[in-house]
Structure 1
Amino acid sequence: MREGPDIARIASLVGDPARANMLTALMGGTALTASELALEAGVSLPTASSHLSKLMEGGLLTLASQGRHRYYGLAGPQVAGMIEAITGVAASVGPQRVRPGPRDAAMRVARVCYDHLAGEQAVAMLDRLVDKKVLIRDDNDIRLGQSAASHFAALGIDVESKARRPVCRACLDWSVRRSHLAGTLGAAILDKILLEKWARREKDSRAVVFSPLGKQAFEKVFLA
């Protein structure tokens, strides 16, 4: 490719199995240490450090220090969206690496995608918000409808605050292979779900598990 962005460089960073496992581990939105990422990648700590250096140089990760510890995280929602989209392509055309068990089913129903909700529940929520014209779907883009500000204000969510990133954005869901809601609005909705204790994060997983009452409350607010 002679002109435009260097796709091959980014693809080579993501394409290494160890680095791909590290990036996927960070899709839960939690920063991890090099030791934790080494375990996720199944490599030694020195090898993990080499991979992390390459990902840092490529602009895919950020690094924060807290005391003696150094924590790595995804560089932002754009990187997370790329990983989610690649995962969707891999799920549809590539060989499957399935770990059987209830965690897989839970991940398909609802999970964290960096900082917002993904999975069947998230896709259904976006569809309903579009049906009610709270959100408007233009091709592959999402924007606020006329009633969005008042609709979300009633839920304690401010969509008019000035933010550096988009308020709403379509993110291709790898398991459903349709879009769910990302952006600051998607993040605020996930925050509300967890704050209201409608659901909890499953330990050592990206899965979001709704309680029976929490599922009813979520569906009443977002799917009714």
Structure 2
Amino acid sequence: MEHAPCISQIATLLADPKRSAMMWALMDGTARQSDELALLAGLSPSSANAHLGRLSSGGLLKVEERGRKRFFRLAAPEIGAAVEALASATLASLPGKVPELLKRTSPSTKVRTAPSSLLRARLCDDHLGGSLAADLYQRMLDAGWIEQLDKRVIVTHKGANQLATHGVFIQALAHSTSRVVCACPDWSERRPHLGGTLGAAVLQLFMQSGWLNLPSDTRVLQITAAGQREIDLFAKEVELEMAL
């Protein structure tokens, strides 16, 4: 394993609850002052600066000098993806406790320390994550566009026909080596969102239609004014199918 990357340094940096709280506050890609991060993590300014210094020295954060103030942001979008993956892995590593966690946590409960923009819509690998994606998954399930069979998710004939009207063709997606559709765990929603090649195709549809934008150096997806209207119409179309 000579060429295997060493992850112990990063793991050690993220293991501290106060440092992980500050990392969560930066997950939307914005830059925040050290004083603000200290407040969010419940630290004194001096203690926060010490933790931020370690995160910066470890390559997880970059510092921006603005006059006398220092702002911190994630050094790269991949770091945010790694933190999110660890959050998902934490749930997956507790198979016996996750059902109890879900019973105690309502579907609308959010990870409060994460920025609200990150909770609404974000990149999750190559597809859409967040409350927007989780709501869409549930609507498609209720409308019969997709079905959950044990641990598998399939697209129904009805769903394939409806998606085709939007330019998403299931037969074309089936040629990929990846799964067409799966229930991807959403760490912030405690419920699944749409994964697989269908999830990626829906995200591409929304972005090509101008409904969502992805600014550089971030994983937070911005919903445009037109996008909010069109996504609402798309959701209502699915809800109408639920009534049929």
Fold shared by both chains (TM-score > 0.5): yes
Report the alpha carbon displacement of residue 138 of structure 1 after superposing the two structures with TM. 2.3
In 2, are the aligned partners of 1:198 and 1:217 still within 8 Å (CA)?
yes
In 2, are the aligned partners of 1:168 and 1:181 still within 8 Å (CA)?
yes
In the alignment, which residue of structure 2 is the partner of 1:124?
135
In the alignment, which residue of structure 2 is the partner of 1:86?
89
Q: Aligned AA for 2:89?
A: I
Of the three residues 20, 42, 49, the one matched with 2:56 is 42
Cα distance change of structure 1 residues 176 and 160 upon mapping to structure 2, 3 Å threshold? same
Q: For residues 191 and 80 of structure 1, what CA distance do their matches in structure 2 show?
A: 24
Report the alpha carbon displacement of residue 218 of structure 1 after superposing the two structures with TM. 1.1
* 1:145 aligns to 2:140 (yes or no): no
Q: Report the number of matched residues.
A: 165
Moved more, 163-172 or 132-141: 132-141
Q: Over aligned residues, Cα RMSD in angstroms?
A: 4.1
Structure 2 SS opposite 1:155 = coil
In 2, are the aligned partners of 1:111 and 1:206 still within 8 Å (CA)?
yes
Cα distance change of structure 1 residues 14 and 106 upon mapping to structure 2, 3 Å threshold? farther
Q: For residues 125 and 167 of structure 1, what CA distance do their matches in structure 2 show?
A: 16
Report the alpha carbon displacement of residue 86 of structure 1 after superposing the two structures with TM. 2.1
In 2, are the aligned partners of 1:81 and 1:172 still within 8 Å (CA)?
no
Structure 2 SS opposite 1:217 = helix
Q: Aligned AA for 1:16?
A: A
Q: For residues 181 and 114 of structure 1, what CA distance do their matches in structure 2 show?
A: 12
Report the alpha carbon displacement of residue 220 of structure 1 after superposing the two structures with TM. 1.1
In the alignment, which residue of structure 2 is the partner of 1:199?
212
In the alignment, which residue of structure 1 is the partner of 2:121?
110
Q: Aligned AA for 1:118?
A: G
Structure 2 SS opposite 1:157 = coil
Structure 2 SS opposite 1:126 = helix
Q: For residues 222 and 129 of structure 2, what CA distance do their matches in structure 1 show?
A: 12
Q: For residues 89 and 14 of structure 1, what CA distance do their matches in structure 2 show?
A: 23
In 1, are the aligned partners of 2:139 and 2:235 still within 8 Å (CA)?
yes
In 2, are the aligned partners of 1:142 and 1:170 still within 8 Å (CA)?
yes
User: When the two structures are superposed, what TM-score results if normalisation uses the length of structure 1?
Assistant: 0.59
How is 1:1-224 mapped onto 2 (pairs within 5 angstroms)? Answer: 16-17=11-12, 42-43=56-57, 83=86, 85-86=88-89, 98=113, 104-161=115-172, 162-224=175-237
In 2, are the aligned partners of 1:123 and 1:180 still within 8 Å (CA)?
yes
Cα distance change of structure 1 residues 18 and 197 upon mapping to structure 2, 3 Å threshold? farther
Report the alpha carbon displacement of residue 223 of structure 1 after superposing the two structures with TM. 4.5
Report the alpha carbon displacement of residue 204 of structure 1 after superposing the two structures with TM. 2.5
Report the alpha carbon displacement of residue 154 of structure 1 after superposing the two structures with TM. 0.9
Report the alpha carbon displacement of residue 203 of structure 1 after superposing the two structures with TM. 3.6
